Structure 1
Amino acid sequence: MKKIIVFAVLFASIGSFGTLSAYAMTPTLSMSSTSGDSVQINVVGDANSGVMFYYNIGSSSGMQVTTLGTTNSSGTFTTTISGAAYGVNSGSSVYVLVNSQQSAMQTWPYNSSSLGTPSLSQTNVPVGLGQTVTVTSQGNTTGVYAGLSPNSTIALLQINGTQISITGRQIGSTNATICYVGTASNCANLAINVQSANVQSLSFSQNNVTLTTGQNTTINLYGGSGYYVASNSNSSVATPSINGSVLTIYGAANGSTNVNVCSSSGGCGIIYVTVNTSGTNQSISFGSTNPTISIGQSMSVPIYGGYNYYYISSNSNSGVAQANLSGSTLSLYGSSAGSTSIAICASSGTCSTLYVTVSGTTGGTTSNMTLLAEITAMQSQLAQILVSIQTMAAKLTQLAASAGGSTSGGGTTQIKYKFTLFLAVGSSGNEVTELQKRLISEGYFSGSTTGYYGTATEAAVKKYQSAHGVTAAGYVGPSTRVILNGE
């Protein structure tokens, strides 16, 4: 009898969601380059609704968000912004929210004249007969393509995002050119030499390194011999040196760099380095402590402390107050009476929580604004119900799997990595590395654990989502994290 009641509630919840979702349409987003790094943004969605823009600045901390404006009475909105002003990564994924509805992911345009030529982890590539090696296009997340393909009888070349795979098919030499997508002249030369013996691959004790200015860190090198630093994308940030099979990296200045290490046998690999300014890891504070606002009221709260840039880690009750972040200013909007806690983090790793109360008074707002706030709150609650349904479905799948499968050695439960961030194409860092490890271990991903979320990782995530009964969106959101974390 209890099972019947549970499923009746679920179907009732789904039915309610389907009925009320008619209040809002799915917005569309289109973009085009104008001049310099300026991009025109065109949005079509619900009329007289705020347009929230989500974008990636190339960090591992998830996407940033800012409010661009409001759609007109016809539901359209157009504006032009500078990618550099917001720090938007060229070629990264972006989307908009209009009336709590998300558009499809789109790729941020770029000005090809500013790209230069691709910087490759190797330009002279030895590869064994039947062996596959990978070369990486560094310094830009824009995808690449083969302007000139190699002799296919000697080597097979395949490209996925910024990853270039080369397979030796016949002993000999051939050449290729690697160009940025959307350009015909931004190309780099790639020389390929197929030999009888396999090239020994190179690996490191750690691929992603974070240190402070003035600090040294050491990394052990494995595979091959005769190691050397082939390139350093930003020598002013970090200084690498090699002694035998140990790489030492010194943090010189705030920023990030990619250190490409090779062996005399031909294998190469990239180490991603981030240097933070010493003493900048101080705690975060707010210009207003425990603010109280009315329904329909907006408020701006300055943020202090931390380092580099901020992001919203969580909002315990988004139906009570909406939170948007632009630079070091947090914008709040009271949607319904209640309280919520909003966690703000800095890229340096420090976090702090702002406790927000929304009073039941409207503060002079019109009845239409109150109705809109109530609809927004109901949509948020319905979204939470949908997430709960997906969570229960994931748990049922796990229970079914555990009932018919085997347990880990000695009946103990393996402790898995805890996923907490929004991940999409353009994301990078340790969370992406752990995601790739999980996808490899479960047979959804056959690539390398690069720590970069490219199109290959996106395709693997879609397979994982489809296999677990959630929408194959290709990015890691709340419902996918529930399944990954086994909650």
Structure 2
Amino acid sequence: MKKIIFGCLILALGIGLVGPILPVRAVATTIKLTNTALDTVKVEITGKENSAVKLSFLPTGASALSTITLGSTNASGSFVNSISSGGYGIPATSPVYATIDGVQSNTILWPAYTSSLALSKTSVQIAVGQNSKITATHTLILAANSLPASIGTALSGSQLTVTGLAAGTGTLVLCGSNVGCASVAVTVGSSEGQNEITLSENSLTLDYRQSAMVNIFGGGNNGYMIKSNTNQTAVNATISGLSNEISLYANNAGTANIQVCSISSESNCTNLYVTALAASENSLSFSYNDFSLAPSVSRTTIVSGGPDNNYYISSNSNSGVATASLYGTTVTVTGGSITGSTVIMVCSASKSSICSNLRVSNNADVMTPSVSVLAFSQNVVSVAKKDTTNVTVSGGNGTGYTVSSNSNSSVATASISGSGNIISLYGSEEGTTIVEVCSVETARVCASVYVIVGPELAEISFSKTPVTVVSGQSVIINITGGTNNNVIYSISDYGVVAASLSNNGHTLVVSGGSKNGSAVVKICDAADSTKNCSDLSVINSGASNTTTTSTVETTNATAQTQQITEEAKVIYGGDLKAILVLNGLARNTEKEANTLTKYLNNLKNDQKNLTAEQINLLNYFITYGTSLTKKLGEGERAGVLGSYKKAFGKLPTTEAEWSDVIKIANGRWPAETSQKALDSAKVEFRKVYLREPDMNDTHDNAAVSVIAYGLRPAARKIEAEKAAIKIFKHIYGHDPVSSLAWDIVRAIAYSGAKR
């Protein structure tokens, strides 16, 4: 027995002497770069022995890193070699880091180097369809093309052929082994100082419902006009304001000869020939079909063609690279966890043999976090000026992280709150900086993030909103703001409207669908689809199963629009006699006094800048109304003003604002929009329906819009309103009194939304 106890004691002492078993820490990776001559850089990397050495760098104009394998470390964990910057297309001052066995080095900048690459041309000016050749004394590598949509390139040894694809200005970066890199400025379609009008292209063919842009050159600075169009039914052509772009849209099959003239001289003209093809039932096409993604980054494209607008995703060759989803005609692709490429096949649901492919590549070259390795959700981060983005850090012992250094804090600031693992990055000025983050333990582990701060996001806006269409009719909307890649984020009702984008997301074509109603087309900046979006309201007022009915409805809608405009003019004009004549009434001063005390004093209580004339207009509208609002009664007209004030924080004082008031009274969307009102309406929606509104659902969208703007129903249903009042009282615990309360009642009664 004593032997057993003694043996256990020895074992316990042995364990105590050995101590806890600690995890094996990975060997740190280091990197040192030295420019030795011309474009040659000596690369010295250390890390785990006998392991592959990878170098990651940021190519010119790219937003994602490229990774190359340089070789392997020796038995001592060392790798030393001299490489040509031009041979690999590595630009000077590119952020780089080395990776060995999953352990990343700190991020440093590639050294500045001397280039000796001689080119026959360093600038090229060509027209669309023309080409120019550039030759060099060395075999060329195309390292970057800043505008591939406009500049086509073809390499053959030491010769590059540049082709003008579309009007624009960009830069090519050419490199050669041991001779560095050089830039070529390319302008396609430029005609500075040119008097005669020319076009970026004089003849083009459009698919059914395809849009396109043609640039105009020369002819002075006073703008251009469409003088004639021989076939407006086939091709819609417009020029917005002083723009030098012709917006084209193929409505139906046919050809059109479009004459474009300078406003300065109507005799200075040129012709554009456009062929519009018939709708193709035998093929599918995408608004964009070649994507480069990073993990969790999403992009959208619109599919069209086939026998109808019904599609499905048939296959995905590598779902680890990217996943795809389809809603209506919008395909969303999202970067996965694997670096590589995949082909996503989309087919017609009506005829599965009609298909087309999307090509997607994904860069998922990220570190694997461990006790001795920090990893980021992104190693290269892009953020707009005056915008914030977040990066997640993981690894270390998990007790917390700190920002240890920032190479250029005037460009971007970085912070980590408390013991969290979220790095908040705020773009202060355009430029780049390297942010180093370390774990907080004694044997700390560090890694770096390269931050690129781009231009400030420009708010997306439309040349016209809302837009009214009829079935089969198309309207071109010019978009300002956003970056060079705005996208259609969603369409709330595909039956009401179809939409497509062109011109890098700055030209939107909306087409009336098969049913009446309203829909919202959400346009977002692809650079930041969470923050920079705008909604375009589209009203389809003429869709019908028969041509006769459609024509009547279109006529009625147009007539009502004209009447609203005329009535707004009368109210805003302030001539009481004209208002009385409009309604066939005699003046009643007693009613006016009653309106002032019963309705108006409360309405204008917080409106300090109203003039006596503006208060009179409000009184006349409540007391007498207009032809289109007489049916509402005095109290309801006061309610319409209350709804307008709730939505826009003001009472109407301009002709346009009075027009919106009359539109609301007739159940039509106002021309002015209020995101604040829509956001507040969504809060009330959640209270009523105990869920988030689905703005792609017609009934949810209608409920939010009615609460936001107070749209009145075309025809009242008293029993439905009585039931809605009971529901309101059950939810809110009181009778509806305020404008907001009554708008909620109307949403419950008429929208059709359900819990």
Q: TM-score, normalised by structure 2?
A: 0.23
Higher relative contact order (CA 8 A, sep 6+): 1
- Which is higher, the Rg of structure 1 or of structure 2? 2
